[in-house]
Amino acid sequence: MNTVTVRASSVYDILIEKGSLAHCGAYAKRCISPGCKAAIITDDTVASLYLDCVRSSFEQEGFTVSSFVFPHGEDSKCEKTLFEVYDFLAESTITRSDFIVALGGGVVGDLAGFAAATYQRGIAFMQIPTTFLAAIDSSVGGKTAINIPAGKNLVGAFYQPFLVVCDTDTFDTLPEETFADGVAEMIKYGLIASDTLFERIEQGNIRPDIDDIVTQCVSIKRDVVEQDEHDTGLRMILNYGHTFGHAIEKATNHRITHGHAVALGMVLIARLGERMGLHSSELTHRIEQCIASYGLPIEYEGDLPALSDGMVHDKKRFGSSIRLIFVKTPGKAEIFPIEVSELVRLLGETSHSMEYAVHGALHGSVTAPTSKSDLHRLMIAAALCPTQKTVISPYTMNEDIRATAGVMEAAGAKFEFSDTSITITGIDLSTPQQDFVADCHESGATLRFLVPVLSALGCRCTFIGQGKLPQRPMTPLIEEMEAHGISFSAPKLPFSVSGVLRAGTYTFPGNISSQYITGLLMALPLLSQDSEIHLTSALESCGYVNMTLSVLKRFRIRIDLMSPTCWHIPGGQSYTSPTLLRAEGDWSNAAFWLVAGALSGTVKTEGLDFGSLQGDRAICDILKEMGAEIKIEGNSVTVSKSELHAVTVDACQIPDLIPVVATAASFAKGTTHIINAGRLRLKESDRLSAVADSLKALGAIVEEGPDSLTITGQPQLLGGTVDSYNDHRMAMSMAVASLRCKQPVRIVNPSCVKKSYPTFFEEFKRLGGAVDVIDLGESH
């Protein structure tokens, strides 16, 4: 016999032994006075198999036995059955000196346990689980409940049994589907708490070791329950897969059983965790493979966004957020709060797979969206003006801007969005927020700007991200910040930061991301002492740093340029709001329309500032050099269809332009050389490979080097299907390429343009292009 002792609000044993059902009365006699009454509560399926054996065992030990049998199934775990149990207990004259025996699976244990917790304000009860699922889950830990129409287990109590007796022989009478319900919970335990258990499960054929596996599972649950009996913290990890699982049960009216729903829940949360950058695709694959190997489902055929209705009523919801459990590596689970609205959004994005078939020619005028780069900087600076209000107008909302606003709101700023402006109330810097989640979504700027800024404020928080963001480099910044007082819980996302950033000298090579420099330039003025930033070589993408310096100057922050590679940052400064600000038009996104005009028609792009410090303003010079017909009037640029010729383009300062410049080069006479482009491999996708592969898929002649592209132009390409690589600039570039293709270009996952330019395809259509939506159905 294996024995696991639980020391919670009461102390009790879990006895695990084949054949123990015949001795359950004797085991109960050790814990409770003989001669009292035992009220056995079970369902009709279990009663036909084990009721006589259990009744006999208790009667042999001198207990007076009565029994109540109800119809099996989740539908019986309800108020109606509960009150029938109360009536039975009263009619059987059960008193506080007597006890209830829950004989059966999870439904029986939950219902009988709740009846015991509430009848006569609480009487003793004993659990005899007869399913694998109940043995390792519901019979241990003291959770009891019934379901109500609004949700599963919403009415219940924490109430510990005085004894649990598990006869693993009962598992032999279970249908394979019912046994598999327990397998799902077993997999859960391995994933959240024991890599060795998970590895054993992956090997298959667990039945020869079933007693030891049950013991391992209940020991894991025992350890958690002893630390958090009432489910306010650590115990939530036991709900891994259950938030989705319970919603699936409700959505299918329990046609999908609990264990099968939890299996689906673990797959869905793994896929969501991968999307959020919490773990690798390899872990998702292992989880899916393990679950499928036991005959459990890994594909949910229902509507994913519709599950959010069930999650709204989940017990793990706190206010407007819900606490989801993620596994980053087998054996380690973490609790992450997420806004219900954000969860709904993520489910909506992953529920359907779309392609756009695009083609045609463009003519007309378009207004450039506001600069994402400028808006990031203005919003952060405004949020750092202590309790002051700043109005920014106009603005273009996109996913990256939403990410920055969300993190700064979590840190204590207030954002109000109207149709034309953003009103920002700055953080009270004397009491910065603590212990919050900073969700950067897929925005590298949000992450790299705000890690230093929030560290300068002394915020303790956890940064998370999605897509490829966790793979994008952070090491140089992390190492320098660790040398200046900040602790990071991990070398890449997700990580927690703590401590207060210290002033001093920060040293980097010049080929690192300019976003590191921007983040520090915005953070270091907040410190009490002076700091310096030194580069050991010339800075790439220096235009973005110049943008930062310009924004800081508008907020009365002084930065002294000591040399092209050294900045002196006086400490003790305060951000002062200019009150009203205007964001620049975005040259990076305007470039798509300028190239579209050169390839297909006449396109006028308005809202551009020729005095801008944005490096991507260079698109005009590049197109001129290629022979494009360009007309500049005031704040607009008009480009007409032209015969282009090859040029050499240095990507060092303009990496974001390269996808659309390469597109133009595909139709330029001669051979274009794009050089110094190695940093494109560290963007939302490996853009160097993505550009080469996508253009070649359309029929272009492209050679990819380690940090270069060589493109031999042709008058026209064939067309075909290309992947967006979940990269907004790739999707837009391929739409522009379609303008000179014989056949339409099908773009997989075009919705990624929401990252920077949500209305891009609407504008494409308005200018005369064709956009045919191809719904591929639900994706998993």
To the query of whether residue 656 is one of the catalytic residues in this protein, the response is yes
Q: Where are the alpha helices (DSSP H) in 536-650?
A: 542-554, 587-600, 619-625
- In eight-state DSSP terms, residue 371 is P
- Token pair of 450, please? 């705000």
Which residues are CB-contacts of 470 (< 8 A; sequence separation ≥ 6)?
A: 277, 278, 492, 493, 494
**Comparing C-alpha atoms, which of 543, 589, 552, 594 is closest to residue 570?**
552
Distance CA 565, CA 538 (A): 6
CA distance 674 to 624: 16
Q: Among 738, 731, 723, which Cα is nearest to 769's?
A: 738
Candidate list 137, 656, 723, 727, residue with the active-site label: 656
Burial of 489 (0-12, 13-18, 19+ CB in 10 A): exposed
Tell me how far the alpha carbon of residue 399 is from its chain's centroid: 14
Radius of gyration of the chain (CA): 32
H-only helix segments in 69-175: 79-91, 106-118, 132-136
Cα separations (Å) of 370 from 395, 757, 760, 773?
Answer: 6, 9, 13, 27
Look at residues 266, 299, 295 and name the one whose alpha carbon lies nearest to residue 283. Answer: 266
Structure tokens at 485: 């007082």
Residue 308 tokens, joined: 């959010």
**Integer Cα distance of 740 and 251 in angstroms:** 47
143 contacts: CB under 8 Å, gap ≥ 6? 110, 113, 153, 156, 158, 231
Which strands make up the sheet holding 648-650, listed edge to edge? 648-650, 671-675, 708-712, 701-705
The rounded distance, in Å, linking the Cα atoms of 338 and 640 is: 47
CA–centroid distance for 591 within its chain: 31
Beta-carbon neighbour count of residue 314 at 10 Å? 22
For residue 220, what is the enclosing H or E element?
A: helix 210-227
Active site residues: 656
